[in-house]
Chains A and B, each alone.
Chain A
Amino acid sequence: MAGKSSEEVTALLLNWQSGDDEDAPAKLMPLVYDELRRVARAYLQHEREDHTLQATALVHEAYLQLVDDKKVTWKDRAHFYGIAARLMRQILMQHARAHQAAKRGGPAQVKLSLEEASDLSTDCAVELVALDDALEGFTKVYPRKSKVVELKFFGGMEAKQISEVLQVSEKTVLRDWNFARLWLSRELRHDAA
């Protein structure tokens, strides 16, 4: 059930793959972004009860909406998932930072009642922002490993898919992931202390 942007996205993916359009990633971004937001919102509205959401399912739905699966190869799909992960990160961090910023402003009275009402989201906003910052630092030293984190944590992808996207072995992906967690954990605890 491909959506109306499907043709466009599929064509962009194909052109990108064939090297015909270097700007394809930039053109894909807004299309995928909108779709992801829409799907994420729809999911969250229906799954509010337990506040969970299957990231993979979400990206997959966006993918189905946007890409004509019959026309593209697994490689294109890998690219798509790579973009999606980056966007998921952007969307989520936007929310988290905006949430944090909103907390800091405004009259004290309202702020107080809001704080009581939304501890949950505040906590995870704070954690996400800290994590994102730490990840920035990590990216400087370990660009590929940080890509693994992005695909897995923000894109919700499995090691196998990640290995396809990054064209490394699955074992490397797992090693990268383990190392990244150690490194980030140290960074976060260091900052907190």
Chain B
Amino acid sequence: MPPKDAERLAELVEHAFELEGAERAAFVTQSCGDDAELRAEVDALLGEQEHVSKLMAAPAIEFGAALFIGDGTDAGELPAGEMLSDYRIVHLLGEGGMGEVYLAEDTQLHRKVAIKLIKSGFGTKAFVRHFQQEERILAALNHPNIARLYGGAVTRNGLPYFVMEYVEGIPLADHARARSLGMDEKLALFRKVCAAVSYAHQNLVLHRDLKPANIRVTEEGEPKLLDFGIARLLDPVTSETDNLTMLTAGVMTPDYASPEQRRGDRMTTASDTYSLGIVLYELLAGEKPNLRKNGQTEAKKFGGDIDNIISKALRPEPERRYASVGQFSEDIRRYSEGLPVIARKDTHGYRASKFVRRHKAGVAAAAVVLLALLGGLITTTRQMRIARQERDRAQIAQTKAEQARRQTELAKKQADRLNHFLEDLLSSADPAKMGKDVKVVQVLDAAGKSIDDDLAKEPEVLAQVHETLSRAYERLKVIPPAEQHARAALGILRQLHGEEDLATAKAEFLLGSVLASVYQLKEAEPLVRHALAVERRQAPPDAFALAETLRVLGGILSRDVRPGEAAPFLAESLALMRTSRGEHSLEYVQVLYTQAHAKHMETEVAAMQNRKADLDGAIAGYRRVIELFDQLAPSSTQAILARVELCICLGREQKWAEEEQELERLDQECRKTLGENNAFSVTSRGLHSILDFIKGDYPRVLEEARQPLDFSVANMPANHRNVVQLRGLYGLALTRTGRAAEGEPFLRAAYTEGSKTERFPFQFTFGNVETALGECLFAQGRYAECESLLLTGYDDLKTRLGEKLPMTVAAARRLRELYTAWNKPTEANRFAVQENPPANSSR
């Protein structure tokens, strides 16, 4: 509606509103005259009078008070009969540092439950998110000696609570005293506790707060562990860290806390072992151990091996304790049966298996490294055998025998080298040397450090090891060292064999793939093209190797947004892969994936040329590929990558609901396969942030987008569209939460780098960045500065996306706001009209 009419409407309604009955009717009739439309508007608004009594009757803050609640403090004890969801409070069982524990009745399932109400104030939202991450894991702990966690929720006042199995029992120490248990009985009881803790560890859950009070014994003499994993639930800081580690001591009871826990270092299964050691001591002695400053116990208390066992569990250095709670328990069994215990000797034999057991998440990757190394070892061994056969056959020919002997020696040397390397790899995985959360990456780092010196005299082997390490890093998506090792291998092989050798070509291919994975396409392309040329010259050609090289080259061209050039290479690759590996192979699906990606890129080309293009083909392609990956290699990184691309496509097509669904799946897969910090989960979180932003959840964007942003800034070119987009997103979220000044640097960087970017994906143009920076300056009252940005941004959006798209409309709104605030009504109206065509506004 034109502003003039709007003003007139308001005047009439305001005046009429103050009149009543016939007087009002007469006034309206007279004022509207023949204007039936105006009359209808006036009547409709006056008709609202009967509905408005409650609208905004109280100030918003009173109305919205419930939204603020959740940073709770003490609200007093819950009275009996009070309902929390389906649970009726019976009475208070006890109070602790974190809150209160109530006995309650589940009115649905008619059973007693214990409800732990948390009063150590932290926000509902943070808790809910944290809880959602953990709940599934904890609720899945199903062991006769562990009290079940049934669920958790938030009270109307915003206090979180847990619903747990109610255990009718008495604390461990009381039980031992009441029944006057003997040594053997105490040890048997303790071993049941160990079994429960061990079970939880196998399910990647630490207790973190083991103490006699958390161990109850039932009438039947069965121990039950309470509060498993609750400590972690209450420590939002740890949500980003590994399942088996914890950064802060948090709510832990200090008497039973391990030294690392008291220091606030990372916690592991060994921390629970320590706490169990104290529990055992107290169970046997009836009092807590007298700990020295370093956490070590006074030696000799009970006599014999049990002292050794306890002091091994209580070693200040986590790596010198038992490798697992299971081993601790086993040693107690051996003691009970009079067998020698391992607590006596400080054995090294467990290192490899310990490493594997403790670092499940990384084990898949470690296995890859080991397999590759073993593969190399097998090859050299085979060479050695061939050489030996040669020697046997040519026993008479002295020179030939000599030659064969030398060959054998070399092969043996290589085998030895690899063997040693393998051993070192495992022993450097010893957590003792690197702190408790050794990742495979750290193992590789440690292993890679010395190879240049160790293998200087065997360049062939050195190159091989470099390649192996490079591939291992690449699989882990840790690109800088992958690149470094590939370069080293290539350098050595070029020197040894020259440019045109097949081994050199393979190293070129490796380096090319690594570089391509971080978009260093300009350097990657000639490397892979040359490798392809060398491979094509081989007779007979290695169809599989060729197909792989063709696929990687196609991928490079596709990523370089030259999908047209990629197509023939990919078609050839697909055909070769079909013959060499078959259609039901991962490698074949990989080619299909690259083809889908090329299709995806076709739409980018279209967008660059301002042509409209739809992504349906690419989306269908990705969906098919994901389906095949899921069949062939569920949760593989390839499947995850395809999911990431699918989510991007869905986002571009503004299919938010579908994207959200896919993102959730992607999240699960990422966490399952790769753990928390990797390029994929970071990308997925970045995509999440975009969704959150669209939903207007700016605080969450600020919380979640920072990490993907930092990661992208560190790992991608500054003018990469992801970096530009995330910077813009973050800066705008700051702006919209009243922190425009803080947001400005992010938006400036996005603007400066964005202006160097030629290729913006479909639906995301530089106009977005300009408009965002404009909004930020506007929020700071810098009207003159923001005007030109908002104008050019709006023009760009209008030209590229059209006038009616939400982003363009929003940009027009910003301009209107600017001119309104600036007191330039004429300009403001220019954009008001565009945004609000008269046809829509008159309702």
Binding site for B on A (CB under 8 A): 22-27, 29-30, 33, 40-41, 44-45, 48, 51-56, 58, 87-90, 92, 94-102, 104-107, 109-110, 113-114, 116-118, 120-121, 124-125, 127-128, 131, 140-143, 145, 149, 152-156, 175-176, 178-179, 181-186, 188-190
Contact = CB atoms under 8 A, between A and B. Distances in A.
B14 A179 contact: yes
A101 B832 CA distance: 29
B6 A107 contact: no
Interface stretch (B25-33, B469-477, B563-571, B697-705): B697-705
Given A26-B779, A40-B61, A53-B61, A121 B56 contact: no
Nearest to B813: A140
Contacts of A179: 10, 13-14, 17, 45
Contacts of A155: 59
Given A44-B69, A185-B55, A142 B6 contact: yes
A183 B56 CA distance: 12
- Give the interface SS of chain A, mostly helix, strand, loop or mixed: helix
- Counting from the closest, the 3 A-B pairs by CB-CB distance are A26-B780, A156-B59, A101-B697
B10 A142 contact: yes
B64 interface: yes
B125 A102 contact: yes
A174 to B, nearest CB: 9
A186 B156 CA distance: 32
B741 to A, nearest CB: 7
A98 B51 contact: no
A55 B68 contact: no
Contacts of A30: 738-739, 741-742
A35 to B, nearest CB: 12
A145 B740 CA distance: 26
B109 interface: no
A24 B781 CA distance: 8
B781 A25 contact: yes
B136 A92 contact: no
A181 B6 CA distance: 15
30 contacts: A29-B740, A30-B739, A33-B738, A40-B68, A41-B68, A52-B65, A54-B62, A55-B61, A55-B62, A100-B695, A101-B692, A102-B697, A107-B135, A110-B132, A110-B152, A113-B152, A113-B153, A118-B66, A118-B124, A120-B66, A121-B67, A124-B66, A140-B832, A141-B6, A141-B841, A145-B10, A152-B56, A185-B51, A186-B48, A189-B51
A156 B153 contact: no
Contacts, number: 210
Given A52-B65, A156-B61, A183-B45, A118 B154 contact: yes
Contacts of A154: 59-61
A81 to B, nearest CB: 13
A143 B816 CA distance: 11
B780 A58 contact: no
B78 interface: no
A143 B726 CA distance: 33
Contacts of B71: 41, 45
B48 A182 contact: yes
B64 A95 contact: yes
B17 A178 contact: yes
A97 B737 CA distance: 12
B60 A128 contact: yes
B398 interface: no
B221 interface: no
A90 B132 contact: no
B52 A181 contact: yes
A87 B738 contact: yes
A33 B740 CA distance: 12
Interface string B38-55: 000000111011011001
Given A33-B738, A102-B700, A128-B64, 17 more contacts: A29-B738, A48-B157, A51-B69, A88-B61, A95-B68, A101-B700, A102-B128, A102-B129, A117-B84, A140-B816, A152-B56, A154-B59, A179-B17, A182-B17, A182-B49, A183-B48, A186-B44
Contact of B67 (A92, A131, A140): A92
Bin the interface of chain B by size: 35 or more
Most buried by B among A89, A98, A99, A140: A140
B203 interface: no
A53 B65 CA distance: 7
Contacts of A40: 61, 68
Contacts of A141: 1, 3, 6, 836, 841
Contact of B45 (A53, A97, A99, A182): A182
Contacts of A23: 780-782
A125 B46 CA distance: 28
A142 B5 CA distance: 11
A183 to B, nearest CB: 6
B85 interface: yes
Contacts of A90: 737-738
Interface string B672-700: 00000000000000000000100111111
Contacts of A153: 56, 59-60
A127 B63 CA distance: 10
Contact of B68 (A44, A120, A182): A44
B60 A89 contact: yes
B73 interface: yes
Contacts of B72: 45
Contact of A114 (B128, B780, B820): B128
B69 A190 contact: no
A99 B67 contact: yes
Given A41-B68, A97-B695, A114 B153 contact: yes
B835 interface: yes
B745 to A, nearest CB: 15
Contact of A182 (B52, B128, B737, B741): B52
B781 A124 contact: no
Nearest to A127: B63
Contact of B154 (A27, A44, A55, A117): A117
B697 A120 contact: no
Contacts of B45: 179, 182-183, 186
Contact of A104 (B695, B779, B813): B695
B151 to A, nearest CB: 6
Contacts of B692: 101
A42 to B, nearest CB: 10
B27 to A, nearest CB: 15
B61 A185 contact: no
B843 interface: yes
Best-surrounded residue of B6, B45, B52, B65 (most CB of chain A within 10 A): B65
A92 B737 CA distance: 11
B61 A92 contact: yes
A30 B403 CA distance: 81
A185 B48 contact: yes
A22 B52 contact: no
Contact of A92 (B52, B60, B153): B60
A45 B73 contact: yes
A106 B134 CA distance: 12
Most buried by A among B10, B155, B158, B832: B10
B131 interface: yes
Nearest to B696: A97
A56 to B, nearest CB: 8
A102 B56 CA distance: 25
A121 B124 CA distance: 12
Contacts of B67: 92, 95-96, 99, 121, 124-125, 128
A179 B151 CA distance: 49
B75 interface: yes
A58 B63 CA distance: 14
A127 B695 CA distance: 16
A107 B132 contact: yes
Nearest to A95: B67
A182 B10 CA distance: 10
A153 B57 CA distance: 8
A190 B843 contact: yes
Nearest to A88: B61
A88 B60 CA distance: 9
